[in-house]
Amino acid sequence: MAGAPHEGLRVIELARILAGPWAGQILADLGADVIKIEKPGAGDDTRSWGPPFLPGPDGGTLGAAYFHGCNRGKRSVAVDIATPAGQAAIRDLVRGADVLIENFKVGGLARYGLDYQSLSALNPRLVYCSITGFGQDGPYARRAGYDLMIQGLGGIMDLTGEADGPPQRVGIPLVDLFTGVYAVVAIQAALAEREKSGLGQHVDMALLDTQVAILGNHSIAYLATGNTPRRYGNAHPSIVPYQSFACADGHLILAVGNDGQFRKAAAVLGLAGLGTDPRFATNEDRVRHRETLIPLMAARMAEIPRDTLLAGFEAAGVPAGPINTVAQVFADPQVRHRGMQLELDSGGMPVPGVRTPIRLSRSDLVLDRPSPSLGQHTEEVLAGLALPPDAN
């Protein structure tokens, strides 16, 4: 193997909670040396976001599971950036760094001399990534932004939930996670450009921008027609049948992607006549007549056990699947085969993890380093820097 792709890359992470640390964890898994700067005594807010907490030695804890979900593979340095000594430590680290990730409010780091303008003067090759709720400019720039707020403001909640029910948040912090992934893409793009220009640049990531971008087909449908998309629950606005159904003993998802699959699905259900009915001949027809078609299919599926239906659809080549709990996900043979669950060691204590879903034919990922304890690496990281004793 060729080693980790980002081996030798140094990243300074001045970020907490989720979007910034998620980006930092991806870079760490790809081999970067990610130095997480934390406030002495407290550290990243998510260290205390429990229960659940991971058990530690002698009846103690290793901190909240939340923290361990987005800080694998990093080194923790406890530095108080509100002090001149702490600011000097960050500046010295930045001189040898490639990337800095921060998620302070707009202008928040300028008072410490740690903003992009100040640090790029020290290191013109620095790629400086700022993650905020609304970006570095615009009428909302100075507002705080949180995932739930952005889901509401950015339209995804109005598209989520049953048609006759209230708007619903997506069950995961979708915007934070997507922003972290987009931030990594942007950082890598800036690093690639640096190979040509020799210069770093400022990456401006906004949660709201990300949420608007991932509205996907819904946004284009609105822009093309002027019609506001509506909620369909687990159904699809443009594909029928493409939704969940109740079976005799549970639920499944049927995802018919073309007319041939629909005819096969109808045959599996013993409703072959639906496959030849002109009202349902094409997807456009099925969308138009969904109020007639779906109750017919739903009534039949409610009579048949889930696993019987899944086996029948699989044999016929019709896309279908179960609705798993999280426990069932990690017991799934495909998930287990792909090694998505990690078991790390933190001083003799087991720490669970979930691998970054990237596989490269020649390069390794670094997936064996657990999340650090607060300040665990302060001495080793700062040892080579000419700093006053009160840097942390």
Catalytic residues: 176
Contact status, residue 16 vs residue 23, Cβ threshold 8 Å:
no
CA distance 252 to 242: 11
Residue that the structure tokens 């998510």 belong to: 46
Beta strands 61-64; 53-55: pairing state: antiparallel
CB within 8 A of 388, min separation 6: which ones?
85, 88
CB within 8 A of 311, min separation 6: which ones?
none
CA distance 141 to 132: 8
SS3 labels along 289-303:
CHHHHHHHHHHHHCC
CA distance 177 to 23: 8
Q: CA distances (Å), 145 to each of 37, 153, 274, in order?
A: 21, 10, 49
Contact status, residue 197 vs residue 126, Cβ threshold 8 Å:
no
CA distance 90 to 22: 21
For the purposes of burial, counting CB atoms within 10 Å of the CB of 325, is it exposed (0-12), middle (13-18) or buried (19 or more)? exposed
Instruction: Outline where DSSP puts E strands in the chain.
Output: 10-14, 33-38, 53-55, 61-64, 75-78, 99-102, 127-132, 202-206, 242-247, 250-255, 320-322, 341-346, 349-354
Helix, strand or coil, per DSSP, at residue 164: coil
